[in-house]
Amino acid sequence: IAGITQAPTSQILAAGRRMTLRCTQDMRHNAMYWYRQDLGLGLRLIHYSNTAGTTGKGEVPDGYSVSRANTDDFPLTLASAVPSQTSVYFCASSGQASTGELFFGEGSRLTVL
Amino acid sequence: GENVEQHPSTLSVQEGDSAVIKCTYSDSASNYFPWYKQELGKGPQLIIDIRSNVGEKKDQRIAVTLNKTAKHFSLHITETQPEDSAVYFCAASIKGTYKYIFGTGTRLKVLA
């Protein structure tokens, strides 16, 4: 089934540890995004990529980095996790940046202790 | 900066009644307004969208209206059913940019 696959589904992490959330899509979409979802704050954009080889910062990029080596993969890395990064993370893709449907993964629940 | 306000944060309706969720956006350059439904434990899914050159769009029990002058757009669900219970997000985006700005969500409960 075509779509977005995120891993892990959930993770508990000690503060200060490095963590990479994986995201793969098989729809050959150019644009990919990482959002975090927190109660009462909705979905906030962390980083985005309009095409392979390019990335950009969203609303809340601090403490996160991304790479886009190819069309399909868009990993999100927390270099040194902090408790405020406890959240549910969603990866999304779109065939048309900014004016097309976003396809979301199932989310990765991250708890930083 | 760009902002999307969404109201109400929670909404309870009796099955069969209508539900309305309202959003206001700040950037007049916004030109695309999607609505997403998120069921428990799932990622959001697009249910309907509207572009800035259209005032209203319908899809069965769901409709979206857009007032560009007032920078308002609304989601209307008629004849609500228990399976409509979910969190709904509005969003606004600007052509040519990466930006989808989401509202804070509305938790809709349809009471049987």
Residues in A closer than 8 angstroms to B98, CB to CB, are 31, 33, 45, 48, 50, 56, 58, 97-98
Report the alpha-carbon distance of residue B68 to residue B43 in Å, rounded.
29
The identity of residue B58, as a single letter, is: K
Report the alpha-carbon distance of residue B2 to residue B103 in Å, rounded.
11
Please report which helix (H) or strand (E) contains residue A93, including its range. strand A87-94
Q: What's the pLDDT at B85? A: 97
Query: Which pLDDT tens digit goes with each residue over A37-85?
Result: 998 888 999 999 999 999 999 989 999 999 999 999 999 999 999 999 9
The dihedrals phi and psi of B21, each to the nearest 5 degrees, come to -120, 135
pLDDT confidence of A2, banded at 50, 70, 90?
low
The identity of residue B86, as a single letter, is: A
Report the alpha-carbon distance of residue A76 to residue A105 in Å, rounded.
14
Among all residues of chain A, which has the CA nearest to that of B35?
A: A101
Report the alpha-carbon distance of residue B44 to residue B25 in Å, rounded.
20
- Exposed/middle/buried for residue A29 (C-beta within 10 Å: 0-12, 13-18, 19+): buried
B14 or B93, greater pLDDT: B14
Q: For chain B, list residues whose CB is within 8 angstroms of any CB belonging to chain A.
A: 6, 9, 31-32, 34, 36, 41-46, 49, 51, 89, 91, 93-105
Q: What's the pLDDT at A96? A: 74
Q: How far separated are the first and last CA of chain B, in Å rounded?
A: 41
Q: What's the pLDDT at B77? A: 98
